[in-house]
Structure 1
Amino acid sequence: MAPPLVAVAHGSRDPRSAACISALLDVVRAQRPELDVRAAFLELSAPRVPEVLSALAAEGHREAVIVPLLLGSAYHARVDLPGLVAEARARLPRLSVSVADVLGPDERLSTLALRRLAATGVSLEDPSLGVVLAGAGSSHPRANAAVAAVAESWARRFPVAGVLPAFASAAEPSVPAAVAELRARGALRVAVASWFLAPGRLPDKVARLAGDAVVAEPLGPGSELASLVADRYAAALAPVAQYA
């Protein structure tokens, strides 16, 4: 039997966030019905990671694979989650816990973000359109650079007035600064694409800061995202299978 897939999201006080994660995992289950897929959260939502791993151990599972539902390798991926996993390994010695890579970078995230942007009614063939790609922001420069790299790829791909990254916190430019820069470049309209997995406080902040710009929905429970989660799980298992 394949080990359970424990999908670990950040968590939020906003109930829409947990509902979005639940919907995403329903798509994963539909795509991979043979897998035991469970949700866990780092904070603010239940169940938390230690609770889920304890339950798996109590059920007799000997192995579990954590797939971080995180778009980049920032603080939660580099510090919070490894700390929880280390604690679980010490507390639950009979349960082997593997951790998959974070979701990004992957072209499927870009595809889904573009689909959410197109759903607002804007055209990426419009040379008067400016696009902001808004992410959470991190004190870790590489996480911010990953968002900027996606924005740069869109700027090369589409004949718009410009595409700029922006961040809700901890990094620059801010959303208002990016919108102002695009208007200075000649954009007559501005649309904000979302580099957020689910609704919550920071996406709402982006929407408030965007002014009269059109704002796309977060990535949400798309089929591309579900297949990416399953692929991260499979990749984490591959080394085990190779040496079994």
Structure 2
Amino acid sequence: MTQAQPPLLIVAHGSRDPRSAATVRALAEVVRTQAEGRDVRVAFLDLSEPSVGDALAALHAEGHRHVVAVPLLLGHAYHARIDLPALVEDVTARLPRLSVTVSDVLGPDPLLEDVARDRLAEAGVELSDPDLGVVLTAVGSSHAPANEVVSRIARSWDGAHGARVTAAFASTARPDVPAAVAKLRARGARRFAVAAWFFAPGLLPDRIADLVEQSAPGSLVAAPLGTDPRVAAVVLDRYAEALAAATRTA
């Protein structure tokens, strides 16, 4: 079949928590409203359906020969560097007429930082409060450069508006949430809030909220980035960048 623009396949991590996949699908709807009729699909690396392989096979069966996959990921950790490329390689080995271009990950991006700060404001957080400590929370990775991206964002926020800010990770990396709260308390923070460097609700964000409540009861917890139109805009930016690069090298 002939198509001016290849389909956009949003590839998310996947979760046992159904709220996560529901948020990804809702974000895909927002992307569609901005995408001027472009075919937008969703796939998951693990735990949710459809899998990346099934989604690509379905697109191939429909007659598509080029797909642009946009990883709904915030850093270059295992899933972006190893997992997704391996899945794509496996599919294209079985379906040699299918070409898959994988875009860059979504983060870091100034628009996503704006969304994260707005989520704090929606939770009642005033970043101008000099007695406030903000924990910018992310998943955490064994790949140190991916963690450094989050730490760098936290450093850029630290003191920029008045509040103290530091990063914390839900798994694998350090500091964890209790250590981050203790660090902010030692720097003079008397009130605490949590910013989410996550796309969707799920088990890890819930775990973070529990840890914060244990470490600093009454802390304000911001929602994940979610379905904000600016997140959709970044998805489309990555799609356009990847498609342009594929066209130049074709």
Residue 150 of structure 1 corresponds to which residue in structure 2?
A: 153
The 8 Å contact of residues 200 and 225 in structure 2, kept in 1 or not, is answered as: yes
The letter for the 1-side match of 2:135 is V
1:49-100 deviation line (CA, Å, top 9, x unaligned): 0001000111111100000000111011111101101101101111111000
Among candidates 237, 240, 248, match of residue 234 of structure 1: 240
Q: Secondary structure at the match of 2:126?
A: coil
Partner-residue secondary structure (3-state), 2:158:
helix
Output the CA distance in 1 between the equivalents of 2:71 and 2:159.
Answer: 30
Alpha-carbon distance, 1:215 to partner: 1.0
Match among 26, 50, 54 for residue 53 of structure 2: 50
Whole-Å separation in 1 of the counterparts to 2:147 and 2:230 = 22
Q: Deviations over 1:149-178 (max 9, x none)?
A: 110111142112x11000000011010111
How does the TM-score come out when normalised to structure 1?
0.97
Q: CA deviation at 1:243?
A: 4.9
CA distance in 2, matches of 1:61, 1:152: 44
Instruction: Report SS of the residue matched to 1:157.
Output: coil
Partner SS, residue 19 of structure 1: helix
Mapping of residues 70-219 of structure 1, within 5 Å: 70-160=73-163, 162-211=164-213, 212=217, 213-219=219-225
| Secondary structure at the counterpart of residue 47 of structure 2 | coil
Letter paired with 1:59:
E
Pick one of 66, 91, 108 that aligns with 2:69.
66
Query: Once superposed, which parts of structure 1, at least 4 consecutive aligned residues long, lie more than 3 Å away?
Result: none
Taking the aligned partners of 2:229 and 2:108, their CA distance within structure 1 comes to 17
Change (3 A) 1:243 1:10: closer
1:25 paired to 2:31: no
Query: Could you tell me how far 1:142 is from its partner in structure 2?
Result: 0.5
1:176 partner amino acid:
P
Question: Unaligned regions of 5+ residues in structure 2, if any?
Answer: none
Equivalent position amino acid for 1:64 in 2 = V
Give me the whole-angstrom Cα distance separating, in 2, the residues matched to 1:132 and 1:239.
Answer: 37
Code of the aligned partner of 1:166: A
State the distance in 1 between where 2:68 and 2:237 align: 12
Flag structure 1 segments of 5+ consecutive residues without an equivalent: none
Q: Which residue pairs with 1:13 in the alignment?
A: 16
Total equivalences in the alignment: 243
Normalised by the size of structure 2, how large is the TM-score? 0.95
In 2, Cα distance between the equivalents of 1:56 and 1:90? Answer: 15
Q: Distance in 2 between matches of 1:240 and 1:102?
A: 16
Deviations 1:218-238 (A, max 9, x none): 110011100000000000010
Residue type matched to 2:230 in 1? Answer: E
Over aligned residue pairs, what C-alpha RMSD do you find? 1.0
